[in-house]
Amino acid sequence: MLLTVVLSLVMMAALFLMLYASVALVQDKRLFTSAPKDIQAVVQTKAERFPGAHVLGWCLLAVAVLLFAGAIVCGGWDGICSEFSFGRFFFRFLFMLVSLKAFDMLVFDWFLLCHSQFFPHYYPEVSGLVGPHLFGFNWRSHLLHLLAFLPASAGLAWICTLFS
């Protein structure tokens, strides 16, 4: 269980790294597709904050994707070595994904979007648009993700049991 929690934390760190790299370094409007529509309308692609910022941001995004993949592979490999049953694999992957979604909802949506100056710091044009009224703007997306985690966890568990 400890490894499952650690891997969940790694995935949370990777998600935060993705957000930071996207918002602070890459600063490309195409990366704002999950933002509220009124924010998407005013956000513009920015010039580099410093030389190499965009390249650094894209490299950090790649590292974040590798961290996600590494956490899933490490969780699977450990389960295979520990002779996990389908149920234990399923619980591990479901816990990791639901923890990640909870982090997304609490840290990104509630804190960073609604109660901090994180986005207005990098995009001053959104300063009047962000606030507590935005919490829950994407509840349908969150619900769909949570529902998708069930078959995704089952699929990962099934793949891992093939190797056990």
Give the tens place of pLDDT for each residue, 72-103.
999 999 999 999 999 999 999 999 999 999 99
* Domain housing 135: 2-163
Tell which wins on pLDDT, 132 or 86. 86
What average pLDDT does the chain have? 89
Give the tens place of pLDDT for each residue, 99-119.
999 999 889 888 887 788 888
pTM recorded for the entire structure:
0.88
Tell which wins on pLDDT, 55 or 128. 55
User: What total number of domains does the chain contain?
Assistant: 1
Residue 134 has pLDDT above 70, yes or no: no
Give the tens place of pLDDT for each residue, 33-67.
877 777 777 887 778 888 998 999 999 999 999 99
What contacts 142, CB < 8 A, 6 or more positions away? 101, 104, 105
User: Do 26 and 54 contact (CB within 8 A), yes or no?
Assistant: yes
Residue 163 has pLDDT above 80, yes or no: yes
Nearest to 39 by CA among 131, 156, 108: 131
